[in-house]
Amino acid sequence: MTVQAVESDAAVSGQNKLRATSIVKLILTRPELSALVAAVAIFIFFWIVAPPFRSSAAMATVLYQSATIGVMAVSVALLMIGGEFDLSSGVAVVTASMSTSILAVHVGLNLFVSMGLALGISLLISFFNGWLVTKTGIPSFLITLSALFMLFGFNLGFNKVVTNTVATSDVSGEAGYSIIRGFFAYRLHLGGRGGPQFSILILWWLILVAIATYILLRTRTGNWILASGGNAASARAVGVPTKWVKIGLFMFVGFSAWFYAMHQLSAYKSVQAGSGIGGEFLYIIAAVVGGCALTGGSGSAIGSAIGAFIYGMTVQGIVYAGWDPNWFRFFLGIMLLGAVLLNLKVKQMSARIRR
Amino acid sequence: MTTSAPLIEMIGITKSYTHIRALVGVDLTVRAGEVTCVLGDNGAGKSTLIKIISGLHRPDEGMMKIDGEEVQFDSPRDALDAGIATVYQDLAVVDLMETWRNFFLGSEIRKPVPVFKPMDIARMRATTSEQLAKLGIHLKDVNQPLATLSGGQRQCVAIARAVYFGARVLILDEPTAALGVKQSGVVLKYVDNAREAGIGVVFITHNPHHAFLIGDHFMVLTLGRTSLDARRSEITVDQLIREMAGGDELATLAHELGRHNAGAPGA
């Protein structure tokens, strides 16, 4: 309203520029806005074309699908805002599940101790990724691509040596299993048999998003994350420890990978040692669709959640609409392209305004 | 002049990169309430000198004193803690971030709330618009990303920030290089204000006209060595221009070595 009032006063020649300024300003300060518009459109679309989509059971499934991507997408988004990538995030999840399983079942440690050690391993791997990236200056794309293949091979190879199979050993016989299952994979049944089942993972996901959003927008750490990704040299010059900010972000991805791994292990008792690959791209897509710039410095944690929700709606919506699910990845690709083009457009507009 | 110790005293600073000697035995003195202009062509060592003063690089040889006491900077943080603030050519700002976030970057105000220690955003916003207003910059909204401000405004945000955070020494790296005539004048006026306020200013430039408008003390760097070190009373603007260009001998040498210097980091 105030914007319009100002505009009507402005000279005619200045009007377009002013309007463009306020739109760019809005998108720059609220990067998740365009994703929100897309999410609403996709929701309405499936609501119309796929009648089963309208049930609360379907919504529970969509939200669960979203959470399986979203838990990782939050930390991946923060890392991208901080200006780095982690391509090893998908297989890192399996490394954490496998470590827990081997330590508990084969080494014979207490399940909780095994989980703690697996967390340590996850954090150590992600610390090493971050340390290598900041120490050498080699793009994180290359460092974590190496990590992806090392972990992928390690998961399969090491699991084979210990278990002689391609799946991790079943942890459901371990003491304390029911406790971790209740914490990481509890399902809330509503309305009896056939009613919607809401996974507790949805709650953990939303809590993670809330904490990440708070940190990013309200704390000094968040300011430093934005600056480290936006212009690391400038940030360093005013005293921001950009290396530690980045290493911390890698470790947050490591923590999330462990958290999601504990959910998988609790829910499915055992995971395939060769799985996880490809997940890193889904997390990155959710973050980018949610408004994260590939070049860092801009994006939001809420955006990553919206991106994950778009993923969940699309993957389930296609099934509910009765279409061939093979088309799903095609739509995913289109959405990514759309998001990237929008990012580019915003950048060009902001550059034009400055002149 | 003042009898107290200079704010900064650098003696015999030498710095080499793999094959290039970027600085050779350079002395620099910065006194409170004075503008020291460091002039020189591209690759003369100006950037290297700034990086040493601001803690980004360490000299190979030489001594640095702050208030008469010898110091060693291991990081930009050390220099900032000593009251030395640097405003870089690229402004040391983050374009995508809001103005108030930029203003307080690295020195955020935090509330004493346990665990997260949130920033006091309201106070940071208010302080930012207050400080910018003092420099005559009236923003409609300090939530504006810095990318939407003009070059002169962005420069002034960086200077205002440095002054607000108690800089005793302000190092300005080519502050007028990317600006038009009018905006350069505005920035030079702020430099004058800073001097009046008793701040020691190091003004890095390759424009002898801008330097002569504002400087109390001039130093010309040529290929990493000091080729002129004079007070305002000892020199004219014509001499300064001539010294910048270098004698015939220096010009020839510059031409020969220019090729090697082109790859020098920080050149």
Query: Is the predicted pLDDT of residue B158 greater than 90, yes or no?
Result: no
What local confidence, expressed as pLDDT, does residue B211 receive?
87
The pLDDT score that the predictor gives to residue B265 is 47
- Among B105, B143, B148, the residue with its CB nearest the CB of A223 is B105
Residue whose token pair is 């710095």 = B15
Residue where the block lists tokens 């919504």: A59
* Phi then psi dihedrals of residue A192, to 5 deg: 70, -160
Comparing alpha-carbon positions, the chain B residue that sits nearest to A348 is B147
Taking CB atoms and an 8 Å cutoff, what residues of chain B touch A236? 56, 76
The answer to whether the beta carbons of residues B81 and B168 sit under 8 Å apart is no
Q: At which residue do the structure tokens 């001097």 appear? A: B195
Instruction: Give the residue, A2 or A225, on which the prediction is more confident.
Output: A225
Nearest to B178 by CA among B150, B201, B211, B149: B150
pLDDT, residue A67, reads 97
Tell me which residue in B104, B110, B148 faces A21 most closely, judged by beta carbons: B148
Q: Do B116 and A237 touch (CB under 8 A)?
A: no
Confidence of residue A11 (pLDDT cuts 50, 70, 90): very low
- CA pair distance A333, A249, nearest whole angstrom: 26
Q: Name the minimum distance, in Å, from the CA of B77 to any CA of chain A.
A: 5
Q: What is the predicted pLDDT for the residue at B3? A: 53
* Phi, psi values for residue A229, rounded to 5°: -85, -30
Q: Distance between CA atoms of B201 and B192, rounded to whole angstroms?
A: 9
Q: Is A98 on the interface with B (CB under 8 A)?
A: no
- ipTM of the shown complex: 0.81
Q: Establish if B94 touches chain A: CB-CB under 8 angstroms.
A: yes
Report CB contact under 8 Å: B148, A226.
no
- List all residues 6 or more positions away from B141 whose beta carbon is below 8 Å from its beta carbon: none
Token pair of B111, please?
Answer: 């509330």
Residue A12 has a pLDDT of 42
Q: Is the pLDDT of residue B121 over 80?
A: yes
Q: Count of H helices and E strands in chain B?
A: 9, 10
Mind telling me how many Å the CA of A260 is from chain B's nearest CA?
Answer: 24
**Among A250, A217, A244, A252, which residue's Cα sits nearest to residue B97?**
A217
| Shortest alpha-carbon distance between residue A238 and chain B (Å) | 6
**Is the separation of the CB atoms in B242 and B24 below 8 Å?**
no
Q: What's the rounded Cα separation, in Å, for the pair A113 and A104?
A: 8
CB-based contacts of A133, cutoff 8 Å, min separation 6: A84, A139, A140, A143, A144, A246, A250
Contact A146, A83 (CB under 8 A): no
Q: Take residue B127 and report the two structure tokens written for it.
A: 């302080």
User: Which one, of B116, B164, B107, B160, lies nearest residue B136 by Cα?
Assistant: B160
DSSP for B94-153, written as a single string:
-TTSBHHHHHHTTS--B---TTT-BB-HHHHHHHHHHHHHHTT---S-TTSBGGGS-HHH
Count of all residues that appear for chain A in the document? 355
Quick check: B147 and A28 CB within 8 A? yes
φ and ψ of B117, to 5 deg? 45, 70
Which single residue is written with the structure tokens 């365009």? A34
Question: Minimum mean pLDDT among A175-189, A193-207, A289-303, B248-262: which range?
Answer: B248-262
**For the residues A61-71, what does the mean pLDDT come to?**
96
The pLDDT of residue B263 is above 80: no
CB contact under 8 A, A25 and B148: yes
Highest mean pLDDT of the ranges A112-116, B70-74, B137-141: A112-116
- Structure confidence at residue A1 (pLDDT): 38
Contacts of B150 in chain A (CB under 8 A): 354
CB distance B2 to B29 below 8 Å: no
Average pLDDT, integer, range A232-257: 94
A77-99 pLDDT per residue, tens: 999 999 999 999 999 999 999 99
Instruction: Quote the CA–CA distance of B46 and B177 in Å, as a whole number.
Output: 14
Determine the pLDDT at residue A31: 76
Element (H, E) at B173: strand B169-173
Q: Is residue B173 less than 8 Å (CB to CB) from chain A?
A: no
User: What confidence tens digit (pLDDT) does each residue in A129-171 have?
Assistant: 999 999 999 999 999 999 999 999 999 999 999 999 999 999 9
What is the residue whose two structure tokens read 């990493």? B224
pLDDT tens digits for range A285-294: 999 999 898 8
State the SS3 of A221-281: HHHHHHHHHHCHHHHHHCCCCHHHHHHHHHHHHHHHHHHHHHHHHHHHCCCECCCCCCHHH
Strand B35-40 relative to strand B84-87: parallel, antiparallel, unpaired? unpaired
Residue A39 scores a pLDDT above 50: yes
- pLDDT of B63-79, one tens digit each? 999 888 888 888 888 88
CB-count exposure of residue A347 (10 Å: 0-12, 13-18, 19+): middle
Evaluate whether A199 touches A67 at the Cβ level (below 8 Å): yes
Which residue type is seen at B25? Answer: G
Closest-CA residue to A253 (of A103, A125, A68): A125
What is the DSSP pairing of strand B200-205 with strand B35-40?
A: parallel
Kindly list the distances between the CA atom of residue B237 and the CA atoms of B48, B132, B192, B212, in Å, as whole numbers in the listed order: 25, 33, 18, 6
Q: Among B93, B121, B145, select the one facing A25 at the smallest CB separation.
A: B145
Q: How much is the pLDDT for A327?
A: 85
Alpha helices in A30-55 (DSSP H): 33-49
pLDDT cut 90: percent of chain B above it? 15
**Choice between B165 and A280, residue whose per-residue pLDDT is larger:** A280
C-beta of residue A256 within 8 angstroms of C-beta of residue A74: yes
Give the angle A233-A85-A41 at the CA atoms, nearest 5°: 110
Per-residue pLDDT at B266 exceeds 80: no
A180-194 residue pLDDT tens: 999 999 998 887 677
Instruction: Give the residue with greater pLDDT, A25 vs A275.
Output: A275
Give me the mean pLDDT over the A297-311 stretch.
94
- Count interface pairs A-B at CB distance under 8 A: 100
**How far apart, in whole angstroms, are the C-alpha atoms of residue A25 and residue A342?**
14
Report the range out of A192-201, A244-253, B195-204 with the highest average pLDDT: A244-253
pLDDT digits (tens, 9 = 90+) for B172-208: 888 777 777 777 887 788 788 888 888 899 999 888 8
pLDDT of residue B137: 75
Q: Identify the weakest region by mean pLDDT among A209-213, A304-308, B140-144.
A: B140-144
pLDDT tens figures, B2-61: 456 788 889 888 998 887 888 888 999 899 999 999 988 877 888 889 889 988 888 999
Which residues 28-57 of chain B have a CB within 8 Å of chain A? 54, 56
In the predicted structure, residue A219 carries a pLDDT above the cut 90? yes
Mutate to test the interface with B, among A219, A223, A242 (most CBs of B within 10 A): A223
Name the residue with higher pLDDT: A173 or B181: A173
Indicate the pLDDT class of residue B224, thresholds 50, 70 and 90.
confident
Find the mean pLDDT for residues B215-232: 87
- What's this model's pTM, rounded to 2 decimal places? 0.80
* Residue B218, beta-bridge partner list: B37, B230
